[in-house]
Structure 1
Amino acid sequence: MVKYLPWIGMVLLAAALAWVLVETPREAQIGVIDLVKIIDESPRAQELNRMLMERYNELVAELNESVGEETPEDERADRERQAYSAYLAYRQELEAQLQVEVDEAVRAVAQDQGIPLVVDSDVVRYGGKDISGEVIARLK
């Protein structure tokens, strides 16, 4: 048994070396997203934009109905401010909703592809894997 000990040691050493070579650490990928592209090309973003335009048109129609030629200028300005405030509140609500959906899509794509870090393309000069297309596909 003692005479086989060096051979057993060599086999174990070879197995350890093979395991180390096979399991070499890979560089962590960095995901890159182009937020402008995602917003421009995403059907979901376009749907939310359409909803915003519909709300804008409703508010303009309501304003035009409630304000006539004889309405005092200060009352007219007050109603315009109220309509604009309602428009901005709705816009912020839709933007927050889209941001949550984009964040969820980015997280899902990154997890599926094993990407531990995703940054906006505005801050990347070189490298990274663009996952914008996959994020757009998830937002449908």
Structure 2
Amino acid sequence: MKQPMWKKLACMGLIVTAAIVSGCGSGEKVAVVNYQTIAMKSPKVKAIEAQIETKNNEIASRLEAAQKQGLSQDELQSKFAEAQQEQAIFMQSKQNQVESMVSAQCQKIAKDKGYTIVLRNGMVPYGATDITDEVIAGLNQGSSSSETK
């Protein structure tokens, strides 16, 4: 009876060792990006945020003008609902624009540096390389080249 138990333990040890060794050779390179830092430091993202603010101010002034016209409560509610919808659509399109710019820059850096995975900061507890500054630099290069075109 002792011999079969010994064989089982040895077999389990080999399986665990094989699993550990096979996981060590995967060679995954993981990078992280901090979107808050990009929003604070990238002139291109700040310009998009300024566009959003300008649109919000325009919508607010239109709503003020509508209130001063003496429209009925139903008409005001209708204008307010339209304005909210317009604001949401504009905001979503600008957020998508920022997301696609950052994503494209992350893909370029990942390809150039051999990263297999790029995640948002906070999703990886440790062991990843922060490429936020490289993304910001790439966005800045992209903005200067697109402005000259």
2:80 aligns with: 80
Q: Describe how 1:47-58 pairs up with structure 2 within 5 A.
A: 47-58=47-58
Q: State percent identity of aligned pairs.
A: 23
The answer as to 2:82 corresponding to 1:89 is: no
Map of 1:59 onto structure 2: 59
**Residue type of the partner of 1:62?**
R
Q: What SS does the corresponding residue of 1:118 show, helix, strand or coil?
A: strand
Greater Cα radius of gyration, structure 1 or 2 = 1
1:106 corresponds in structure 2 to 106
Q: TM-score, normalised by structure 1?
A: 0.75
Superposed counterparts of 1:1-140, under 5 Å: 27-68=27-68, 70-140=70-140
Moved beyond 4 Å, runs of 4+:
none
Measured after TM superposition, the shift of residue 107 of structure 1 is: 0.5
Decide which moves more: 107-116 or 124-133: 107-116
Aligned Cα root-mean-square deviation (Å): 1.8
Give how far 1:31 is off: 0.9
CA drift of 1:26 comes to 9.4
User: CA–CA distance in 1 between the matches of 2:74 and 2:134?
Assistant: 51
Amino acid of the structure 2 residue aligned with 1:123 = M
Cα distance in 2, alignment partners of residues 117 and 28 from structure 1: 7
Amino acid at match of 1:57: N
Segments of structure 2 that go 5 or more residues without pairing to the other structure are 1-24, 141-149
Aligned position for 1:14: none
Residue in 2 aligned with 1:5? none
3-state SS, counterpart of residue 96 of structure 1: helix
What is the alpha-carbon distance in structure 2 between the residues aligned to residue 57 and residue 87 of structure 1?
A: 10
The amino acid of 2:97's aligned partner reads Q
CA distance in 1 between partners of 2:94 and 2:39 (Å) = 13
